[in-house]
Structure 1
Amino acid sequence: MKKNLRIALAQLSVTKGNIRANLQKHIELIELAAEQHANVIVFPELSLTGYEPDLLEELAFTSSDESVLALSRLATYHNMVIVCGLPLQNENEAGETQGKPYIAAAIFQPSRTVSFYRKQYLHEGEAAFFARGKDNVMLSVKGNKLALAICADFSHPQHAKDAQDAGADIYLVSALISQNGYEHDSELLADIAQTHRFPVLLSNFVGETGGRETAGQNRVWDVNGGQSEKGCTTLNGILLCSLTGNEVLSSQFHLGTAKPIVEEPLTPTV
């Protein structure tokens, strides 16, 4: 049975390659989402590092990295599913690195399980730095089925069709969308929502990353392609969306507050 679901769409500025500083911003927005009783929070593509292809092989994560463990503890502490973006090492079954890293979404469950969705469709030029993922991922939260997409995934019609065929209620997009590209991508996301009859939810950056000025403006498109309230263009915060199945009930932007980088511990002891 589908129950009311509260999803926080994070938008944030990041510091190039500074995982610790970026993690602190994640923690701030996770705590803001928890105050608003969110069940899920979703961050943009490569949110822990910024979009820096030439750095990401060196910065690529494993499932045992401290930042991964810290976010896993937070998911348990707040009883929340956390989805954040990171470069993921490309390892074989023996744990040996075997090629270019993936652009991935790390999925932290309250049960302390961690899984990964690997971006399947790459933008032009990304194949020089990243490997392609092969499998779709569907999350089930409070009876609702959530399909994950990372940026260029949504520009390939097969990805959204696969989500529809798998019974998705909601299509979650983690992205880097520039100011120049926002209008075009908004039209595409609205069309996906209307064509496949599920809400499309966008998490995007604010500020500069990877040499691009990003657009912010997190948003929800309902099954008719209609647009919700959107996040602002420059400030950190969350767009909190309330949904049941494919019905959008409400959305509201909540502004984040600047906090200093702190020393250990970064997360509660639980």
Structure 2
Amino acid sequence: MKICVAQTKPVTGNITANIKNHLALIELAISKSAKVIVFPELSLTGYEPSLAKSIATKKEDVRLKVFQNISDSKKITIGVGMPLKASKGVTISMLIFQPKQPSQVYSKGHLHADELPYFISGDNSLMLQLNSQKIALAICYEISIPEHSEKAFQNEAEIYIASVAKFKSGINKAKTELANIAKRYSINVLMANSIGMADRAECAGKTAAWNKNGEMICELDEVNEGLLIFDTTTQTTEKYLL
């Protein structure tokens, strides 16, 4: 099975423009026979905590139906980042669209201190299962919480996908953490990161994949949008820059 992580350059707060960009990358992933594609943290709005309350939406937002339609027609699982309204605030969430299934939500359960004024913790218990393979999800800061990856291991995850918005100041630490997770639990790890400006800082890109020994096997650059595709059967990777 081919699993894809996308590297995007969000247009700040412009959901319509970002949906268009996502669809182009999804079509590219489909053309390369990917069965799963996961986008960076808050990919549909950009990582902008101060704007999140004003642009947050519900998972039933009609603008998002296009992802369910393409999932149904092309038989691909899609994970996109979006701030979602909850009863007591706004969550940093990933909407999951799978063929002929109701959409699901994975929300960031462990928040960084800087995020607490803008977001609330959400339900991060969702795990994907495709072709008998279990895929654990993580959103950014969660990769630094040992209990998060330990839970994924206890739940027999074979793949760990981190959707992040890492700046240049923090990318090396994130890469070390993800390499350690791969080695500690002997699982494949993928990371989807953004490029461009977000929250007054520059995102670092460097979307990457690690093997079960914790060795990086593929990495995108820091300036181009693109895709990294990992084949779970052959343990090989492909990358495509836009």
Question: Is the structural similarity TM-score above 0.5?
Answer: yes
From 218, 222, 230, the equivalent of 2:211 is 222
CA contact (8 A) 2:210 2:218 kept: no
SS in 2 for 1:116: strand
Deviation at 1:63, TM superposition (A): 2.1
- Aligned alpha-carbon RMSD (Å): 1.1
State the alpha-carbon separation in 2 of the partners of residues 130 and 122 from structure 1: 8
CA contact (8 A) 2:143 2:174 kept: no
SS in 2 for 1:214: strand
Aligned to 1:263: none
Which amino acid counterpart does residue 215 of structure 1 have in structure 2? Answer: A
Structure 1 unaligned blocks of 5 or more? 91-97, 257-270
CA contact (8 A) 1:73 1:112 kept: no
Deviation at 1:223, TM superposition (A): 1.3
Aligned to 2:84: 88
- The number of aligned residues is 242
SS in 1 for 2:237: strand
State the alpha-carbon separation in 2 of the partners of residues 231 and 135 from structure 1: 27
State the alpha-carbon separation in 2 of the partners of residues 156 and 119 from structure 1: 12
Aligned to 1:21: 17
From 133, 136, 141, the equivalent of 1:152 is 141
Which amino acid counterpart does residue 239 of structure 2 have in structure 1? Answer: F
Aligned to 1:139: 128
TM alignment of 1:116-131, pairs within 5 A:
116-131=105-120
Aligned to 1:72: 68
Deviation at 1:61, TM superposition (A): 1.8
Structure 2 unaligned blocks of 5 or more? none
Bigger shift: 7-16 or 57-66? 57-66
CA contact (8 A) 1:75 1:112 kept: no
CA contact (8 A) 2:106 2:123 kept: no
Aligned to 1:243: 232
Higher RCO structure (Cα 8 Å, ≥6 apart)? 1
Stretches of 4+ moved more than 4 A in 1?
Answer: none
Bigger shift: 179-188 or 31-40? 179-188
CA contact (8 A) 1:86 1:103 kept: yes
Q: Does 1:55 align with 2:27?
A: no
Aligned to 2:34: 38
State the alpha-carbon separation in 1 of the partners of residues 229 and 207 from structure 2: 10
SS in 1 for 2:37: strand
Tell me which protein shows more helix as a share of its residues: 2
Which amino acid counterpart does residue 30 of structure 2 have in structure 1? Answer: A
Percent of paired sites with the same residue:
34
Bigger shift: 24-33 or 59-68? 59-68
State the alpha-carbon separation in 2 of the partners of residues 127 and 74 from structure 1: 34
CA contact (8 A) 2:193 2:204 kept: yes
Q: Does 1:99 align with 2:85?
A: no
TM alignment of 1:102-113, pairs within 5 A:
102-113=91-102
